[in-house]
Amino acid sequence: MAGNWKMYKTPAETVAFFEKFRPLVEKSEHCEIVICPPFTNLTSAVEAVKGSPIHIGAQNIAWAKEGAFTGEISGPMLHAAGATHVIIGHSERRQYFGETDATVLKRTLSALEFGLTPIVCVGERLEEREGGRTEELLKSQFAGGIASLSEQQFAKIVIAYEPVWAIGTGKTATPEIAADAHRVIRGQVREKFGKAAADSVRILYGGSVKGDNVKSLMAQPEIDGSLVGGASLDPVSFASIVNF
């Protein structure tokens, strides 16, 4: 269960969040818990979760190790800050900051090189869903990005299916719609990396997941977890999702 805080919270607000959140999930051993705060809160978040089962992730990673890349944060920097995961190719990055399947692949390779678990996002926009092109889009995002990983590299990634029309809109995909999309993605994994990889890859669903819909989504065998935006900002609400 991963929380994406997007561009919310200061370091002080991060500390306050974990004070409330930690005791609510201290005994939650059924899943991995990851919170991805803004870069500026990584160290305070890592400090705040010490000794708990909570992991801290970043929301992006540079594809280079270091260099003249103003505004970017590299894998070694994230690793040194204590991050263990990183979200890559979130639709907001694709939509507003020119992220492409090719740069998603480069960032994923960088995350793997520096020991971070990539959470790679894919998902269709409303016009693609309404135009009946969801499957085509998911296949092309897969082929243009993570399909180029080696089998060993692929075994270390997590995929997040996030239909863009469901992110931050309050419109959740029905469990059946989400599961259908997960089947398409898993089918691509099977074709490219084989059955064992398809059976073991974790595919998270993201898009307006809340305490009151998480159970029905998680009841789908295809759905292995959730990537949660808005509802991860509140400790009680994210804990209710973790402990569904």
Q: What is the DSSP string of the chain?
A: -EEE-TT---HHHHHHHHHHHHHHHTT--SS-EEEE--GGGHHHHHHHHTTSSEEEEES---SSSSSS-TT---HHHHHHHT--EEEES-HHHHHHS---HHHHHHHHHHHHHTTPEEEEEE---HHHHHTT-HHHHHHHHHHHTGGGS-HHHHTT-EEEE--GGGTTSS-PPPHHHHHHHHHHHHHHHHHHH-HHHHHH-EEEEESS--TTTHHHHHTSTT--EEEESGGGSSHHHHHHHHT-
Q: Which is nearer to ligand PEP, 159 or 193 (CB)?
A: 159
**Is residue 122 part of the contact set for ligand PEP (CB under 6 A)?**
no
Comparing CB distances to ligand PEP, the nearer of 193 and 226 is: 226
- Binding span for ligand PEP by CB under 6 A among 104-112, 130-138, 188-196, 201-209: 201-209
Decide if 90 is catalytic: yes
Name which of residues 87 to 106 contact ligand PEP (CB under 6 A): none
Of the pair 193, 206, the CB lying nearest ligand PEP is at 206
Phi, psi of 236 (to 5 degrees): -70, -40
Residue 92 annotated in active site: no
Among 42, 228, 241, 242, binds ligand PEP (CB under 6 A): 228
Set 90, 92, 99, 222: catalytic member: 90
* Window 133-172: residues binding ligand PEP (CB under 6 A): 162, 167-168
Closer to ligand PEP at the Cβ: 120 or 228? Answer: 228
Per CB under 6 A, which region of 59-67, 98-106, 185-193, 200-208 contacts ligand PEP? 200-208
- Is 230 an interacting residue with respect to ligand PEP (CB under 6 A)? yes
Q: How far is CA 94 from CA 1, 10, 140, 174, 199, in A?
A: 22, 25, 14, 24, 28
Smallest gap from Cβ 165 to ligand PEP, in A, equals 10
Asked if residue 105 lies in contact with residue 146, where contact means CB atoms within 8 angstroms, the answer is: yes
Q: Is 23 in the site for ligand PEP (CB under 6 A)?
A: no
Q: Which of 158, 229, 235, 244 binds ligand PEP (CB under 6 A)?
A: 229
208 part of the interface to ligand PEP, by CB under 6 A: yes
For the annotated catalytic residues, the residue numbers are 90, 162
Where does this chain bind ligand PEP (CB under 6 A)? 4, 6, 162, 167-168, 206-209, 227-231
